[in-house]
Amino acid sequence: MSLRLGDVAPDFAAESTEGEIRFHEFLGDSWGVLFSHPADFTPVCTTELGAVAKLRDEFVRRNVKVIALSVDGLESHRSWIGDIQETQGTAVNFPIIADHDKKVSSLYDMIHPNSNENFTVRSVFVIGPDKKIKLIITYPASTGRNFDELLRVIDSLQLTANYSVATPANWKQGEDVVVAPAIATADIPSRFPKGHKVIKPYLRITPQPDL
């Protein structure tokens, strides 16, 4: 069965490059990013893991724990890490799950037979502290992910989890946001004292409230 937004992220136990992982325990009270790779020693994956490692401080600042997955085994992962460090100029500072039995891949519907029966697609799951899935993105194996965009989405998810706002197209941290439709226009000044602009009755803009 396919997972959907709002579902509880399935818990699992698996071996990883940093020891046994019990997923919900690993996440604790943090946000989480689980992302899969078609296979070890593949070119796009190598650049992706390097990119994520270089963004460690950005994920830590947002209270996000990152964990990767590939259908290869631990020894393969460990050898691959050497290549990543050599070619990308960074240490791999997060665990990589060894999913040779495809248990986790199947649990998260990461194998799409019409794409490839043996390897995972490039799936990304963002999981909130409540262990519910907040975002699902699936890329084809040939397209590397944009992790700056993933950080932008996490910023939006964390902001909108705490305030009655939404973020407009191409929004970035620090820009104006949209007041949620459930808030009456008359109530905006008390809820958002930084001011607001009514463009249409259904489109009300206010400065980002947590800055």
**With 0-12 CB in 10 A as exposed, 13-18 as middle and 19+ as buried, what is 136?**
middle
List Cβ neighbours of 106 (8 Å cut-off, separation of 6 or more).
Answer: none
User: Annotated catalytic residue: which of 14, 27, 45, 154?
Assistant: 45
Coil, strand or helix: which one is 23? Answer: helix
Question: In the structure encoding, which two tokens stand for residue 114, read together?
Answer: 């019409």
Q: Give the single-character DSSP code of 180.
A: P
Only one residue has tokens 């709002």, namely: 6
Distance CA(136)–CA(34), nearest Å, equals 10
Residue 63's SS3 state is coil
In the residue annotation, 39 being an active-site residue is answered as no
Q: Look at the chain and count its residues.
A: 211
Amino acid identity, position 200: K
Q: Record the tokens describing residue 141, joined without a space.
A: 């194996």
What is the H or E stretch that residue 82 is in? helix 74-88
- Catalytic positions: 45
